[in-house]
Structure 1
Amino acid sequence: MPFRIRFLGFMACLVSALVLALAGHAQHFETSMQSQRQFDEHYLPRLTLVLDEGHYDMIVEAAGQALTRSASPWKWQILRLRGLEALGRWDQVREELPGLVKLYGNEVVFLAEAHRLHVAMGQPDEAGNVLRLANAQAQSLPLKSRGAAELVALGRIAAALGADPERILKQFYGAAKSKDPKSVEPFLAAGELALAKSDYARAAQEFRGGLQLSPRDPNLRFGLARAFWPGDREEAVANAQRVLEVNPAHAGALLLQVEQMLDSERYAEAEPLLQRVVERNAAHPVAWAMRALVALLRDNDEDLAGQAVEKALELWARNPEVPHVVGRGLSRHYRFAEGAAEQRKALAWDPGYLAARVQLAADLLRLGGEEEAWALSAEVARADPYNVLAFNYLKLKDQLAAYETRRTPHFTLRMRPDEMKIYGDRVESLLEEGRTRFLNKYAVDLSRPTLVEIFAEQQDFAIRTFGELGGGGYLGVCFGTVITVNSPGSHASGTTNWEATLWHEFCHVVTLTATRNRMPRWLSEGISVHEERLRDPAWGQPMTPQWRERILRIDGLTPIADLSSAFRGAEKPEDLMFAYFQSSMVVDFLVATFGEARFRSLLGNLAKGEGINEALAAVYEPIESLETKFQTHARAQAQAYGGGVDWTRPEDLPASADPLAAHPKNYWLRQSQTLELLGESRWKEALRSAEAQILLFPGYTGDHNGHELAARAARALGDDGAEANALRAWTRQSAAASAACLRLIELDQKAGNTEGMRVAARQQLAINPFLQPAHYALGCAAQAAGENAMAVESFQKLLLLKPDNAAEIHYRLGQVLAPSDVEGARRHVLEALLEAPRYLEAHRLLVELKARKSS
């Protein structure tokens, strides 16, 4: 009895000490128990919750005391082993586990846990032996006689043996849910299986189902965070934070937050979290792999990275997860060649490690190594037919097989054939223009052709770019020598200027090459927006009243040193757009203040491996003084925006009987006045007010700008000239004013202004090359100017779009071709007559062509 008294006393003291800390999970023990075994079994679930809250030392001690007294000691042994694992005490696990397998070899739940631990320690032979033993045990009792915990364990064993996932979900996890509707384990196991197959939607569904039963369960919550990670980083990090509220020591949640910080280049913030992990578990392989990543990304210190990798491999010398994590992180920073090398190392250590195989396929697609990427995807699909990423890549391969590929010495262009015919030539000429400009400016040599893929379907763009559906806000992405772009005809585009997007992305190709892909995101994006504006003042992002207001706030500007985090940490679309704008302002400032030669030196220093802040200090001056000067510069630009315009919002103005008379330079009051007059159909007064709005500040091109409102009033008055002038002023400053361009085409056709038609049509085709009126106007303008080659090209493209006035287009082609190609002209006139047999002008032209042929 003395041992029993000491044990009960220990447990009572332990639980009493934990009462407040454990939010009620561990309560005071009852003063009397029917038996020791009843006591043990009663408190096992409660102590499991204590484990989930991160009190690993206490759990190891408590479980060690209890397992010798329990009717089911293997359950306490699992609890103890998990505590040892969380503390990184792998020597004990390695030493004890073989004996425990022999002792509890008839318990499938314990065998499933033992298999997981052997795998974690890099012991494939031992893991295989456990699987064989577990498989034998599985045959000893029908599934219908198994409890929920056993069914979950058997499902995990079946998954390790490569069984069909749908069968596992139904036969094991589904049955476990029916057997014990209150158990969260089937949901946890099903979610983890879905994650392993990259089926994030199914994973989220399973984890949510479990959380309905146990809202505070940190393992389910962490699973949900992982399910959100590929598509919704903000939600993933929020769920990880909720995990840490329950278990501040949860290594997975801490490392997920670290990964987010590394992606945002917030290395200093990541360090304390990594330290928290290794303080608990000094041998945590992923934590040390991420420390190696910090050494490579921030410090460019391969020796330091090597030391971290050595620590990561202490438990398992050829753990493929370590190079996989390092390589994945490098690839997220656009260092795809280095990332691919790490995945190859992982596969050399374990050819069956599918995560590395899929990541290598993704890296190769970004490096232009498509054939090997497709082969790798097929290998993964054969090994795991339910792997969603592999399935997506192979589906993409089939889609791309129907695309047309055009190769030039400098570019490989891939588009859908019908789209290639419409605007492929313009894509090629714009890329060649950019190549000539940027290679000279940045002193870069592109040693291989750039692959440019333009996707007609947004979902194909998403799979090619991200490996999964999503990414609806992206117009294009550059990976170094590969560019992927949404077609201007896709639902994800069509309201932006695709030429500006392509220019922006190709600029990335050059600057990433100039820096060997070692530049922060803010600098890369800032240069591309900067170059957009240099190419066309209407491209890129201009200053706006909203940006002005933001800059002038005390905390409106993100410090340069933290600017990359503004992209990953953007909570709303406008936050992301401002990150682009501020980045371009920094580039504008550096070039204007210090010159282009020193800016090229900055890129050169980055290519040598210097961190951005060190490079800025070496080329310019310390980051602190540079920051002060930039802030002054940015605020001066914001103050100067609009000259003497009053940008105060009406709600912030003092009350007045006639606000506009009291504040005649307030833009918003003037805009409201114009809109009010338009709403009342007081067209002349509205036009005068819109003209006053333009006079106040002609550079504003946002919603309800003065040019737009003046055009509306002039149109209502039937004043075509005033309307055209207003629309032309608007389109000169906005590269995406599609409606204005189309209306200008109508007005210029009516007025016979062929040059105006040409300009408006070209602007419209840069927004959407599939609009028939733009091709028609460009063809007519070229025909009127005697530019027959241009006219033929425009009319032929228009025919591909199947216009209602096909007869007229064929007739015009006949007219244009007549001087140089009588037979070609004759064919088009006959086509016109097939469309419209009574087309008198076509009959006359046919007679004329016959006479020419006879002569």
Structure 2
Amino acid sequence: MPTPIDPPHPGPPAGYRRPAAGRPLLAIVVAWGAFTAAGPALAADADEAAKLLRRGDYAGCARQAAEAIRDGERDEAWPALKIRAEMAQGKYDEALKSLKAATRRYPASLNLYLLGRDVRRFNGLAGGEPEAMKDIEEQVQSFPRRYATAEGQVALGRFLLLRGADPKKVLDQFYDSVIRQVPDFLDAYMASAELALDKQDHALAAETLRKAPKEAAEDPRYHYLMALAFADDDRAAAAKSLQEALKINPRYVDALLLTADALVDSEKYADAAKVLDSVSAINPSEPRAWVYRAVLAHLRSDEAAEASARKSALAPWPANPEVDALIGRKLAQKYRFAEAATYLRRALAFDAGYMPARVQLAETLLRLGEEAEGWKLAGEVFAADGYNVVAYNLMTLHDLLAKFRTLEEDGLVVRMDPREADLYGPRVLALLKRARSTLAAKYGATLPSRVIVEIFPRKKEFAVRTFGLPGADGFLGVCFGPVITANSPASQGESPSNWESVLWHEFCHSVTLSKTRNKMPRWLSEGISVYEEGQQDPAWKTVLNPRFREMILGDDLTPLSQLSSAFLAPKSAQHIQFAYFESALAVEFLVKSAGLDGLKGVLDDLGAGRTINDSLPARTRMSLSELDGAFARFARERAEATARGLTWEDVDVADDASSRDVEAWLKSHPTSFKGRQLLATRLIAEKRWPEAKAALTELKERYPEYVGPENPYMLLAAIDRQASDPAAEHAVLDELAARDGDASAAYIRLMELDEAAGNWDGVARNANRLLAVNPLVPAPHRSLARAVEHLGRRDDAIAAWKALALLDDTDPAQTHFRLAKLLGEAGRKDEARREVLKSLEEAPRFLDAHRLLLDLVDNDHAGTTPRPPSGSSHGH
């Protein structure tokens, strides 16, 4: 997923230069080339103490280290272990004393310097960092041989990164060099993965960690880094890695905090709070635990608790930018973009160069529609760190968007590929205007002054604009409130989804997010959007298919009070699709139970800061348990009423079974939907038309909602077509078209039937239906052009012929001629002349085009117009 968009990111772009800082030092330390092995192994006792640290016995580790130091042990690993153990317990003042004593004894230790950064900061001594860095830099420059070990080279790499060295050089000349020469040195893999994660290249981090030596499995830090690498792309793998880390060390704070992070994402706030309590039992001063408490308080609108938790988070280090940056990141993940931006700005007030906050703020501003500042900041991030994958991707996307066409009207800003804008851009604007007038009025919402809609012809650019990284398969559109991103039909292969329903769905999100100030659970947001699709057009409604019916009547129905979990922890792709359907069903249930005003009241409550599970009982006058029970009954009644009496067992017959074989099987399974469906297809294959039609007619009557593969409508249409019964064929296809917003094949055939019958209204209707699915093919534009021309809708005909001129080269002379004629009739003479000349370029002997050109030329220039040659009237 983190792979950059095309072209693959090779590092900084051509001409990119790093600041000069760090170069002389890098040159000095690299000049020593190969190094001497891995350095001295830990003494046996130190190795035992390190195991205590890895297993979470921090007090035991600190005690052993203190005894070794008192006994005169000279290995610098001892004070390092003691400091780590003290910091893990939040004993920051004791760690500072240990650091001071250790640096007096080991003034040239890079490891102690690196450890000391947090020790100094968490003791209010961040101001002394430049002096400490200067001292250690002098040691490195004066005695580079001292660091010519695997451990020293990895420490040097980390130090040089702090100094602003080129990350790729550090990776190549330090970490990779160590891995090549000492392939069992685990810390080199850890450092390399940390660098990749810092640049948001999660795939590279995972790849690096997979190559680590076997003993890595015994280190909780290894599993924690692997969980970070998987966190955005594979939640199951991330959870498994966290379990492995905590199996080794149940008191490993980093892993516990990442567990709490995932629980917050899953809206399991009580469970997250319990994990945070366990972190505080280990380290009462851990800033990140207080950060998550601040986030939880914010989500329940407890301002006092939020402020108190933030104050506690900043207590050890009052200028710690990670505190507000982490709060901002979590709020952004909850779609609280305005509040997130406030916190991210606070983080940057502490440290203007803090890269995680800068990247997150750039993405957040772009999602808020604050584009000028967002793109400026993204550019600054890329200039400062050309290896950051998200920044690189965003700036590549910025260059692409500069080539898009912008259509703007009444506060709606649509950006599209120029060719697509010419083909259906006005239709997009018209649809969005209808959505705004319909949905904003219905829900009483005040929308932002601008709503930005960007439509991408390639999935990877959509994913980068939406998530910062390629991937995100399965998403057709995403709404952040004032910004909507969508995949165009061009990105979806041969069977695109109805783009009109997608944009209606996403614009509904904009309405409900605006009304609630982005304070709504995902299930309700998705449920209302799916519900409103069906309200706008029954053909857009998500139908109860056999699998969903089975899930409702089985064990897969999620209680209404827990519906968010259906999105946050789905068992499969099928379950996430079911979550959308069930959420829409829940909204339908709420409207039936409390009315539309009740649903709007819930949205008002959410905007005021009430939780969904506080609002629902008040608005429906039912307790949560009563709501769950009533909704379950509502859903099951709906499922039982659909395809009543049919069963869903698989058909146990041979692949080459005849209709007679299927009929024999049906004698013992007379209500089998799949059996009846298979029988119909076998009867058609055997050309037993009357029996096939009877079987399909009955199946359609018993389950009219089914529009999936081999549905009765298309099969009946095929029988009617074979029987040369266009009226019957048209009737059954019209039924399907009214039920299925993606039925492209039905729309095409209906256009053919209507044109043959001279039903130009029907041709136009079905051409528009097809354009709502795929406006990038010629057929609907051609049919629409002919239909609206017959209906006297000249402006619509001009638009349709213009679109066809972009798409179809089978008869360009005729296309440009028709367009020229219509433009001339509309008084647009200059445009008409251009079009007729294009027609003549394609067919110089096209007599009608010559006549039209003569008509278009002013009388005083008529004599200069070439006379048409004799011969064919078209002749190209």
TM-score (norm 1): 0.90
* Contact 1:85–1:93 under 8 Å retained in 2: yes
1:602 & 1:108 partners in 2: Cα distance? 57
Note the alpha carbon deviations across 1:820-843, whole angstroms, 9 max, x for none.
Answer: 448455553443332133445545
CA separation of 1:816 and 1:404: change in aligned 2, threshold 3 A: closer
Instruction: Give the secondary structure class of the aligned counterpart of 2:407.
Output: strand
- Show the counterpart of 1:532: 533
1:313 & 1:846 partners in 2: Cα distance? 78
Q: CA deviation at 1:465?
A: 1.0
- Show the counterpart of 1:16: none
Note the alpha carbon deviations across 1:321-374, whole angstroms, 9 max, x for none.
Answer: 111111111111111111100011111112121111111111111111111112
- Show the counterpart of 1:779: 785
Report the identity percentage.
38
- Show the counterpart of 1:264: 266
Note the alpha carbon deviations across 1:447-504, whole angstroms, 9 max, x for none.
Answer: 4121111122222211111111111211111111111111222247962111111111
Gaps of 5+ in 2: 1-39, 654-660, 864-876
Across the aligned residues of Structure 1 and Structure 2, the Cα RMSD in angstroms comes to 2.7
Instruction: Give the secondary structure class of the aligned counterpart of 1:558.
Output: coil
- Show the counterpart of 2:454: 453
Instruction: Give the secondary structure class of the aligned counterpart of 1:412.
Output: strand
1:490 & 1:269 partners in 2: Cα distance? 40
Instruction: Give the secondary structure class of the aligned counterpart of 1:472.
Output: coil
* Contact 1:211–1:221 under 8 Å retained in 2: no
Gaps of 5+ in 1: 1-37
- Show the counterpart of 1:320: 321
CA separation of 1:249 and 1:682: change in aligned 2, threshold 3 A: farther
Q: CA deviation at 1:169?
A: 0.7
- Show the counterpart of 1:704: 710
Amino acid of the structure 2 residue aligned with 1:375: K
- Show the counterpart of 2:356: 355
Q: CA deviation at 1:756?
A: 2.7
Among 763, 773, 776, the alignment partner of 1:757 is: 763
Deviates more, 1:699-708 or 1:725-734: 725-734
> Is 1:482 aligned to 2:479, yes or no?
no
- Show the counterpart of 1:383: 384
Matches within 5 A, 1:426-825: 426-491=427-492, 495-553=496-554, 555-620=555-620, 621-650=622-651, 658-680=664-686, 682=688, 685-715=691-721, 720-817=726-823, 819-821=825-827, 823=829, 825=832
Instruction: Give the secondary structure class of the aligned counterpart of 2:484.
Output: strand
* Contact 2:477–2:486 under 8 Å retained in 1: yes
1:190 & 1:542 partners in 2: Cα distance? 49
- Show the counterpart of 2:19: none
Instruction: Give the secondary structure class of the aligned counterpart of 2:100.
Output: helix
2:186 & 2:456 partners in 1: Cα distance? 42
1:657 & 1:439 partners in 2: Cα distance? 54
Q: CA deviation at 1:650?
A: 4.5
- Show the counterpart of 1:23: none
> Is 1:399 aligned to 2:400, yes or no?
yes
CA separation of 1:734 and 1:386: change in aligned 2, threshold 3 A: same
Q: CA deviation at 1:110?
A: 2.8
Instruction: Give the secondary structure class of the aligned counterpart of 1:407.
Output: strand
Amino acid of the structure 2 residue aligned with 1:463: V
2:833 & 2:114 partners in 1: Cα distance? 80
Instruction: Give the secondary structure class of the aligned counterpart of 2:44.
Output: helix
CA separation of 1:70 and 1:682: change in aligned 2, threshold 3 A: farther
* Contact 1:112–1:157 under 8 Å retained in 2: yes
1:337 & 1:259 partners in 2: Cα distance? 21
2:220 & 2:213 partners in 1: Cα distance? 9
- Show the counterpart of 2:417: 416
Note the alpha carbon deviations across 1:564-619, whole angstroms, 9 max, x for none.
Answer: 12112113211111111111111101111221112211111111111111111222
CA separation of 1:119 and 1:721: change in aligned 2, threshold 3 A: farther
2:488 & 2:124 partners in 1: Cα distance? 47
- Show the counterpart of 2:844: 837
Q: CA deviation at 1:39?
A: 12
> Is 1:234 aligned to 2:229, yes or no?
no
CA separation of 1:695 and 1:494: change in aligned 2, threshold 3 A: closer
- Show the counterpart of 1:222: 224
> Is 1:147 aligned to 2:141, yes or no?
no
* Contact 1:147–1:179 under 8 Å retained in 2: no
Instruction: Give the secondary structure class of the aligned counterpart of 2:538.
Output: coil
Amino acid of the structure 1 residue aligned with 2:442: K
Among 289, 292, 296, the alignment partner of 1:290 is: 292
- Show the counterpart of 1:25: none
2:288 & 2:750 partners in 1: Cα distance? 60
* Contact 1:486–1:493 under 8 Å retained in 2: no
Note the alpha carbon deviations across 1:389-411, whole angstroms, 9 max, x for none.
Answer: 22222222211111222222221
Q: CA deviation at 1:180?
A: 1.8
* Contact 2:563–2:583 under 8 Å retained in 1: yes
CA separation of 1:415 and 1:64: change in aligned 2, threshold 3 A: same
2:438 & 2:828 partners in 1: Cα distance? 41
Instruction: Give the secondary structure class of the aligned counterpart of 1:502.
Output: helix
Deviates more, 1:591-600 or 1:641-650: 641-650
Deviates more, 1:451-460 or 1:152-161: 451-460
1:129 & 1:493 partners in 2: Cα distance? 63
* Contact 2:404–2:417 under 8 Å retained in 1: yes
Instruction: Give the secondary structure class of the aligned counterpart of 2:455.
Output: strand
Instruction: Give the secondary structure class of the aligned counterpart of 1:413.
Output: strand
* Contact 1:683–1:714 under 8 Å retained in 2: no
Instruction: Give the secondary structure class of the aligned counterpart of 1:484.
Output: strand
2:256 & 2:725 partners in 1: Cα distance? 65
Q: CA deviation at 1:716?
A: 5.4
1:416 & 1:362 partners in 2: Cα distance? 22
- Show the counterpart of 1:202: 204
Q: CA deviation at 1:84?
A: 1.4
Task: Indicate the structure whose relative CO is greater, using CA pairs within 8 Å and at least 6 residues apart.
Answer: 2
Instruction: Give the secondary structure class of the aligned counterpart of 2:543.
Output: coil
Q: CA deviation at 1:665?
A: 3.7
CA separation of 1:254 and 1:715: change in aligned 2, threshold 3 A: farther
Q: CA deviation at 1:64?
A: 2.1
Instruction: Give the secondary structure class of the aligned counterpart of 1:471.
Output: coil
* Contact 2:42–2:77 under 8 Å retained in 1: no
Matches within 5 A, 1:46-195: 46-69=48-71, 71-119=73-121, 123-142=125-144, 146-195=148-197
2:198 & 2:858 partners in 1: Cα distance? 75
Q: CA deviation at 1:697?
A: 1.9
* Contact 1:656–1:662 under 8 Å retained in 2: no
Deviates more, 1:819-828 or 1:211-220: 819-828
Q: CA deviation at 1:851?
A: 12
1:808 & 1:174 partners in 2: Cα distance? 65
Q: CA deviation at 1:128?
A: 2.8
Deviates more, 1:94-103 or 1:75-84: 94-103
Deviates more, 1:193-202 or 1:814-823: 814-823
* Contact 1:41–1:70 under 8 Å retained in 2: no
2:691 & 2:833 partners in 1: Cα distance? 55
2:663 & 2:644 partners in 1: Cα distance? 26
1:84 & 1:320 partners in 2: Cα distance? 22
* Contact 2:196–2:204 under 8 Å retained in 1: yes
Amino acid of the structure 2 residue aligned with 1:44: A
- Show the counterpart of 1:4: none
- Show the counterpart of 1:12: none
